[in-house]
Amino acid sequence: MSAWWVVLRKELVDAFRDRRTVLVALVVLPLAVPLILAGMSALGAKRQARQLEGTLELPVVGAEHAPNLIAWLATQDVRAMPPPADPDASVRRQERDVVLRVDPAFGADWRAGRPAGLEIVFDSSRPLQSGATVARLRALLESYDRQVGTLRLIARGVHPSIVQPLRVGHRDVATPESSFDLAQQMLPYLLLLLAFIGGMQLAVDATAGERERQSLEPLLATPASREAIISGKILATAVFTVLSLLVTLVMYRVAFAVMPAERIDTSLALPAPALARLLLVVLPVVLLGAAVLTALAAFARSHREAQGYLPLLIFVPMLPTLYLMVAPVKTQAWMLAVPFLGQNQLVLRILRGESIESWEWALSLGAGLALVALAWWLAARLYHREQLAASG
């Protein structure tokens, strides 16, 4: 029996007897992640439905200047409400999402055939709250604009198509799964975060904890090489993390299966083959996390110091997600070789139901595993330091 296998088995037995580690990794996290995502998805779908389909209660300033417009809006399920005293401030204070302001000269301009003024007051930094409403209002006003314009042209004996040189149609080529919402953007990040630091408890306990409990020195006095010992510890961490991810993804599926379909974005429910592909994509991240955490635990002087690096480790997988949010660029080959960024792209593509070429698999897995080798080497180097065990 190889030493790494002996260490791997012992660390897993040890971890599974630690009720707190098991509870967090195999119960709390797998329940929390799907609930957060399913909840976000349900809320998002509900809000969108309300903004797009329900009666829109719209505060209107100067409604009396445009009674016909207000009446027409009412036929389109938009009810004009009395405006707040200071519309701009009220939107800025987030008391109202959208306010429509009618220019006092609206009536006079309208009758004179001049463009009559309307103003939509909203806060573009809160697209979730007002985006759909603003789009709906704008579409309605444009439609009214076109109707009245057409009528005026006909009244003057001009064919309306003379002012419509273009006819623009829409054809959406998105696959059914690619309609995005916030929950879908969160999933890759949560998945990568879980993969990267899900084994924190085990990895820190297996090195920093071992040293603090004074069992590292006897361990290093056995013939097992340092490389074999860290390999066992890293692999034990990885096995545990994969298990945690597997339970999480299964719970995720269950959560989306039991929720009423009309309430959620069904594009987030993963079919089983996608689940397996997701696990394969994040496998290098799992191993990288296990190796980095082990190196960190060997570098830190104590359990507490090792856990102090946690915020930094949470931040690293976030970087590509943030990058993709501000610069949602087309997937390019080099990105697949960048850790986290590549996995993030591939996870998104699996969620969208797109296929992944075999060279893309090779590039992503190869680059990931090369980095794992580097982290493993670093952990081994740190395990060879005399200070590691000889702290007393």
Partner 1 sequence: MVRAHEDAAVIEVQALAKSFPTRDGIVRAVDCVGFTAADGGITGLLGPNGAGKTTTLRMLYTLMRPDAGRVLVDGLDPAVRPDEVRRRLGVLPDARGLYKRLTARENIAYFGRLHGLDEATIAAHTSRLVAALGMAEFIDRRTEGFSQGQRTKTAIARALVHDPRNVLLDEPTNGLDVMTTRALRQFLRGLRAEGRCVLLSSHVMQEVAALCDHVVVIAHGRVVAQGTPQELRAQTGCANLEDAFVRAIGSEEGLYS
| Binding residues vs partner 1 (CB under 8 A) | 1, 3, 6-7, 10, 13-14, 17-18, 210, 213-225, 386, 389-390, 392
Q: φ and ψ at 302, to 5 degrees?
A: -155, 165
- Say if residues 253 and 35 touch (Cβ distance below 8 Å): no
Q: How far apart are CA 1 and CA 228, in angstroms?
A: 12
- The distance of closest approach from Cβ of residue 233 to partner 1 in the complex, given in angstroms and rounded to an integer, is 13
- Helices H, strands E: what count in the chain? 19, 4
CB-wise, 18 or 109, nearer to partner 1? 18
- The distance of closest approach from Cβ of residue 17 to partner 1 in the complex, given in angstroms and rounded to an integer, is 4
- The distance of closest approach from Cβ of residue 227 to partner 1 in the complex, given in angstroms and rounded to an integer, is 11
- The distance of closest approach from Cβ of residue 243 to partner 1 in the complex, given in angstroms and rounded to an integer, is 18
CB-wise, 3 or 280, nearer to partner 1? 3
Residue 84 tokens read as 């707040």
Residue 5 tokens read as 């296998």
- The distance of closest approach from Cβ of residue 365 to partner 1 in the complex, given in angstroms and rounded to an integer, is 32
CB-wise, 61 or 389, nearer to partner 1? 389
CB-wise, 1 or 174, nearer to partner 1? 1
Residue 65 tokens read as 């200047």
Residue ranges of alpha helices (H) inside 18-93 are 19-23, 29-53, 67-75, 87-92
- The distance of closest approach from Cβ of residue 190 to partner 1 in the complex, given in angstroms and rounded to an integer, is 30
CB-wise, 270 or 380, nearer to partner 1? 380
Q: How far apart are CA 256 and CA 381, in angstroms?
A: 45
Q: How far is CA 252 from CA 245, 256, 262, 272, in A?
A: 10, 6, 17, 12
Euclidean distance between the first and the last CA atom of the chain, given in angstroms as a whole number: 32
CB-wise, 20 or 170, nearer to partner 1? 20
